[in-house]
Amino acid sequence: MRFGTLATPLEGPQEAASRMEKFVIEGGNPLAGTIVPSGNKNAALPALAACLLTEEEVVLRNIPRIRDVEAMTELLTGLGVGVEWRDDNVVALCAADVDPKAMDPGAANRIRASFLLAGPLLARFREADMPPPGGDVIGRRRLDPHLDAFRALGADVRFDRWYHLAAPGGLRPCDFFMDEPSVMGTENALMAAALTPGATVIHNAASEPHVQDLARLLLQMGARVSSPDIRAGMAMLIAASTARNATTAVRIFQPRPMSWATLATHGEVRDPGRDAAVGHHRPGGQQERRASVARSLPPHRGGGRAAQHPAHP
């Protein structure tokens, strides 16, 4: 049975292939040149959310001007945060006059990272009313790690279409184990603990580079983090009594794939901001191991083409 709302079926794979985007890669040449990598979105979003922890100005550099970042700044503006772009990738934020009740559900529905506002709002105002986050749907992405962290810190959590978080007496330090090393869950826990007097220990914490970026920002804002590198899956955070202003740059992690590609083709690509060869840059052990594998590859010769999917003749 045909439905009038369905599109007309394509005649065959050739017609389908003609309408699909594709990459055609001509190999056989070493990569060489100079690049200026952009900041990482996954580092920028929690850094933007962290501005809610303080009344003072926070200046973030190397922030990519992309749709998710614009959605987050729109959310923050709706809450009363002053947002000023001082350069293409430099933004200043001041959360002195925030109304924690002014959350815009429409704006929150545009990005999943909207839920990162829950931790700093709960820490600073002792309550947060959060609509379910939106964003892309890529399988089961539960909020339990966030909510479990808030409960461990002493918050009451209720749900009736929105998530209602409350800690009338303030949050309390704790020692808890996350049931999964959720990246955003760890980030929310770090921000919630940042204004909680005493030492909070988070076990099974996520250790991705952008989580470490947030830990470094919290250090600049006055919190004490035992290890911003969070190498062993554990983070210990001793809160500041008050957060202060900070100026920081979102670190650059985008060149990692470029590093591997450069090494694999025996080329040299430079990042003028680091004054170093991207192909030899090793920010962590995992990249160093992968770089060693890339260096061991034999030189690529010939002008071959990348293997093509049958749908892309």
Show which residues are catalytic.
Answer: 136
Rounded alpha-carbon distances, angstroms, from residue 308 to 15, 73, 260, 290, 300: 17, 40, 21, 25, 18
Give 67's contacts (C-beta < 8 A, 6+ positions apart).
none
User: In angstroms, what CA-CA distances link 142 with 146, 175, 232?
Assistant: 9, 22, 24
Residues 6 or more apart whose CB falls under 8 angstroms from that of 132 comprise 108, 109, 161, 162, 163
Could you tell me the two tokens for 7?
């599109």
CA-closest candidate to residue 228, choices 242, 208, 254: 208
115 touches 184 (CB < 8 A): yes
Q: For 205, how many CA atoms within 13 A lie in the half-sphere containing its CB?
A: 33
83: enclosing H helix or E strand: strand 82-87
- d(C-alpha 176, C-alpha 196), whole Å: 15
The 8 Å CB, 24+ separation contacts for 286-291 are: 287/256, 287/259, 287/260, 290/260, 291/259, 291/260, 291/263
Q: 129: helix, coil or strand? A: strand
Backbone angles phi and psi of 203, in degrees to 5: -95, 155
Put the strands of the sheet holding 246-249 in their side by side order.
82-87, 90-94, 57-61, 246-249
Tokens of 11: 């005649």
